[in-house]
Structures are given as C-alpha cells and as structure tokens.
C-alpha cells in the first residue's frame, strides 16, 4: 500500500500575536485541503500534534477542538511527543492507513508559544525532560550545551564551526517567505550574541514561535502531476535523561530510526537529496548529520562550515526551509512543517530555495534531548 | 513546576543516601537564562557527574569559581536549598555538588 501526500500547507512561523491557535490551525487545514482538492467531509480521521496547549493554554481535548473547527465529527486524537509531536502524529496517522482503518486522514501540527514569557516557555519545555533534570534547574539549551561541550572536546570542534550551522540555516531562511527570520547572519554575529548556556549563544538556539502546518495523506492516488509518497515512517526511543546514556555525542534513537527507514526503502544515507533536520540548537544539526550518516563522526559541523549542505553548493542539502533556527520552531508544528517543505522540493515547487533534481527527501524530528526520534522518507 | 508536599516527600527517600558521595565532573555548562522557578539563581553551573559507584547524576555546582569548571574535577554531593515556587510554597532541597 502506498501512502500518498495529497496536500500540504503551513502558516507563516513567527511571533504571531494577532493570531489565535484556532486561526493558525484553520489556515493550515484549509490550505492543505485545498492543495489536496478535498473537502472536510472527505476526511476519515484527524491527528493533532501539539505539546504545550495543556500546559500554557489549559486546553486539552485537542482532537475535538479542531474537529469543531473543521466542522466534522470524525475520530480524532491528540499525539504528544514533546518537540516530535508533529512527526509522531504523522507516524500514527500513517499506521491507521496501513491498518486499513481509514482512507484519507488529516494531520495537523500546531503550537502557540509567544503568549507566554521566555522563562515560562523555558520551564514548560522542561516537561519533555526528566524529573532529575528539572530538579537540577537545567534547561533545554543547557542540555544541548552539555552535548556541545562533549562534542567539541571529543572531536576538537570550535564554537565558530558550530556557529556555521546557524549561518547556513539563516541563509536558507532568507529564501523562505514562511520563515520567522529571513536575514542573513555571519559567524561573527553568532559569536557576539549573548550566552544562553555555555558554549551556546542566542544565535545557536532556535526561537520561540507560533505556527501550524497540515498535511492530507491517503491511500488514494494524488492528482498532482508530481505525486509524492511517504515510503518510510520509523520511530525509536531512548532514556529521557541525557546523563543516563552511554554517549553524549550521538542520539541512538536517531541512529536506530534512520537505519530502519533506510532499510525499509532500500537506500543508503548517500541516496538522500534533501533533508529537514531538527536543529533546535546548532549542535543538534551537527550531531544529526552524523547520526543520519551524511557525515563521518566528528565531521558534521565541519562539513556544514565547508558548505557541503548549503543550497547551490552541497550534495545533500539540509534544512532548506531555514530549519528550526531560521524558519522557527512552534514545537508541535515542526514535524509537519518538515513534511510540507520536503514535499515542495520533490514537487519542484520550492521557488528560490528549490533543491534541484530532488527525488528522495528525509525528515528528522526529535523530542526531548533524543528521547524520541521520528524519521520519514519521502519520494517521488 | 509541580511541587506538592507528597511529591517532595516521595523524592526525599533517595536523597539521604547520596549526601557525601564523591565523583568527578564529566561535562559542565552555565545556565544564564533559566526557567521561571530558578530566575533568582542564574547564572549557575550545571554538571553531569559520575559518582564513585559509576552512577551518573545531573545537578548544580555550588560554591564555585571558574577553575572548578573542568572535566575530571573531583566533587562531593551536598544537600542544598533549591527553588521555591512562590512565598507560600514549600522550600525544596536537592542534591547539588561542591568542588573538593
């Protein structure tokens, strides 16, 4: 059975103070349905990826909420896996099609973060960590900073080389009209930005964002002249706490999920043309490129600094959307936005940031500090 | 952060046995932008420590100076006051680390 992507859409990401979560969801849902040539009555079920509505908005029961918005009464569920909520919602939606239960389903990723202050968001996101980590007063930038310390000392990598990840992603974001940040930055800008958790600085970190993205998937064939299929959807988990793991310079969940995905479609890492990577911090993309097999161990940051993953220069292009760093990171929406972005490249509709000749795309969505990884492979 | 008395009471069982245990710093960072409950404490270092029994823990480093922020630095587990959600809430205590 083939999983067809019938339609995709995303809102602009950013500090969207005028827009409610419901309005964000409406724009994404209507856009995806229109792109799919479907109406709400054609949808058999709804899957919603969201992390923080219960914590910040005191709003649970999101499946029903957004069915109300859709004007339908179909089965609906809320899927939560921290920053991988969107990716896991899609995984569950795909499984429902593979089980033969539904034919056409809608997957929505949505998050409203900028209603809360920075210290509240920092605390709220720690719900994705462990009790020990919360007790220690560590933050997610802090946890990734610990990984960066380990990575830099193990592989002799500099802060400037890590900064190159943000520089690349801001360049890509400058080409994306949905991105939160569309300005080009330099390594010096990153180095001069304020420290958040040593060695990570403000411009090593993805922002606090609002946004929604949606995708219609189906067992039906797409009418699009360049149909896109999801050929692998793999998930793996690991300990909640970073300190409980053997290594701090690899996420075993990503290695296991990506290896399973490559095996499923019969390719090697080198077969991927374009990938959306979960670059919540610069160090995260450096490690991800190695865990996914795009770079050798210890060479991910250096490869990015050398332009090997930049549009127009590299062979495997990472984060053409600008990634979490420049496009923005409304946590529950991110995993779906990645699918929207890769679909545009495989259809040849990505405009100025089009990865030419892209045929195989990958999305890498991570929850916590690697406690869950969701990998999807998309193909023409 | 939820800090009900019963949750804190459950947690206390594990604390006593760790006081005075020594170990070494594996990795460190300095939290400069903390979560709401730790707003009054920043900046503060957080370290991953490997204890003498090989158990790994994460915790704050207290009574510190720059020279303490090194891999391999010997530390001892101490009981210290941690965050308080607000003036009406329970004062929490947690295991932190001090350079030896």
| Domains of chain A with CATH codes | 3-117+208-218 (3.40.47.10)
Determine the pLDDT at residue A20. 96
Nearest to B39 among A119, A149, A248 (CB): A119
Q: Provide the phi-psi class of A334: left if phi over 0, else alpha when psi is between -120 and 50, else beta.
A: alpha
Provide long-range contacts, Cβ within 8 A and 24+ apart, for A151-154. Answer: A151/A248, A151/A249, A151/A283, A151/A286, A151/A287, A151/A298, A151/A301, A152/A199, A153/B71, A154/A249, A154/A298
Query: Active-site residue A83, yes or no?
Result: yes
Query: Active-site residue A205, yes or no?
Result: no
| HSE-up of residue A292 (Cα within 13 Å, Cβ side) | 33
Q: What's the Rg (C-alpha) of chain A?
A: 19
Which residues, given as ranges, of chain A have pLDDT below 50?
Answer: none
Judged on CB neighbours under 10 Å (0-12, 13-18, 19+), A149 is buried
Q: pTM score, two decimals?
A: 0.97
Question: If pLDDT is split at 50, 70 and 90, which confidence band does B56 have?
Answer: very high
B91 close to A (CB below 8 A)? no
Tell me the shortest Cα–Cα distance from B59 to chain A, in angstroms: 5
> Which entry of A170, A278, A329, A376 is annotated as an active-site residue?
A329
B97 close to A (CB below 8 A)? no
Q: Which helix (H) or strand (E) holds A4?
A: strand A3-10
Chain B environment of A199 (Cβ under 8 Å):
29
Determine the pLDDT at residue B1. 60
Q: B84: nearest CA in chain A? A: A135
Q: Give whole-number Cα distances, A130 to A38, A87, A148, A358, in Å.
A: 42, 21, 19, 39
State whether B48 and A126 contact (CB < 8 Å): no
Number of structural domains (chain B) is 1
Predicted complex ipTM exceeds 0.90: yes
Which residues make beta-bridge pairs with A9? A214
- Per-residue pLDDT reduced to its tens digit, B61-94: 999 999 999 999 999 999 999 887 777 888 888 9
State whether B32 and A146 contact (CB < 8 Å): no
Determine the pLDDT at residue B2. 61
State whether A195 and B30 contact (CB < 8 Å): yes
Q: What's the Rg (C-alpha) of chain B?
A: 14
CATH code assigned at B33: 2.40.50.840
Range of the domain at B91: 5-99
Tell me the shortest Cα–Cα distance from B38 to chain A, in angstroms: 6
Strand A45-49 with A104-112, pairing = parallel
């Amino acid at each position: 059975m083939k999983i067809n992507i019938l339609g995709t859409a995303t809102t602009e990401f950013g500090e969207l103070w005028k827009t409610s979560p419901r309005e964000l969801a409406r724009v994404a849902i209507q856009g995806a349905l229109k792109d799919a040539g479907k109406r709400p009555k054609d949808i058999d079920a709804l899957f919603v990826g969201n992390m923080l509505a219960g914590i910040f908005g005191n709003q649970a029961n999101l499946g029903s909420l957004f069915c109300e918005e859709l004007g339908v009464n179909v089965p609906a569920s809320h899927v939560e896996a921290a920053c991988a909520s969107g990716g896991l919602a899609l995984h569950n939606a795909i499984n429902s099609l593979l089980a033969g239960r539904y034919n056409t389903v809608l997957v929505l990723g949505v998050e409203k973060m900028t209603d809360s202050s920075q210290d509240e968001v920092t605390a709220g996101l720690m719900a994705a960590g462990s009790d020990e980590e919360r007790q220690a007063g560590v933050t997610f930038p802090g946890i990734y900073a610990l990984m960066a310390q380990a990575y830099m000392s193990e592989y002799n990598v500099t802060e400037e080389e890590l900064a190159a990840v943000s520089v690349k992603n801001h360049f890509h974001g400058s080409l994306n009209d949905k991105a939160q940040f569309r300005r080009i930055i330099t390594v010096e800008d990153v180095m001069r930005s304020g420290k958040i958790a040593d060695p990570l600085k403000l411009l090593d970190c993805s922002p606090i964002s609002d946004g929604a993205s949606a995708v219609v998937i189906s067992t039906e064939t797409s009418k699009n002249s360049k149909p896109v299929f999801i050929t692998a959807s793999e998930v793996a988990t690991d300990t909640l706490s970073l300190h409980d793991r053997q290594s701090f310079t690899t996420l075993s969940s990503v290695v296991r999920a990506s290896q399973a995905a490559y095996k499923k479609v019969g390719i090697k890492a080198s077969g991927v043309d374009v990938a959306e990577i979960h670059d919540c911090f610069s160090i995260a993309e450096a490690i991800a490129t190695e865990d996914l097999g795009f770079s050798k161990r210890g060479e991910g940051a250096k490869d990015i600094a050398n332009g090997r993953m930049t549009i127009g220069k590299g062979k495997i292009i990472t984060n053409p959307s600008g990634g979490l760093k420049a496009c923005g990171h409304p946590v529950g929406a991110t995993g779906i936005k990645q699918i929207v972005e890769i679909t545009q490249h495989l259809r040849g509709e990505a405009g100025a940031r089009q990865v030419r000749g892209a045929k195989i795309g990958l999305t890498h969505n991570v929850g916590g500090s690697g406690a869950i990884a969701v990998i999807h492979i998309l193909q023409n | 952060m939820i800090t009900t008395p019963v949750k804190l009471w459950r947690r206390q069982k594990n604390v006593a046995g760790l006081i005075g245990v020594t170990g070494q710093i594996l990795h460190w960072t300095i939290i400069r932008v903390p979560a709401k409950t730790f707003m009054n404490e920043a900046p503060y270092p957080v370290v991953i420590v490997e204890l003498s029994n090989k158990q790994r823990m994460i915790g704050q480093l207290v009574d510190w100076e720059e020279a303490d922020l090194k891999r391999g630095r010997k530390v001892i587990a101490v009981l210290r006051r941690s965050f308080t959600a607000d003036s009406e809430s329970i004062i929490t205590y947690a295991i932190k680390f001090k350079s030896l």
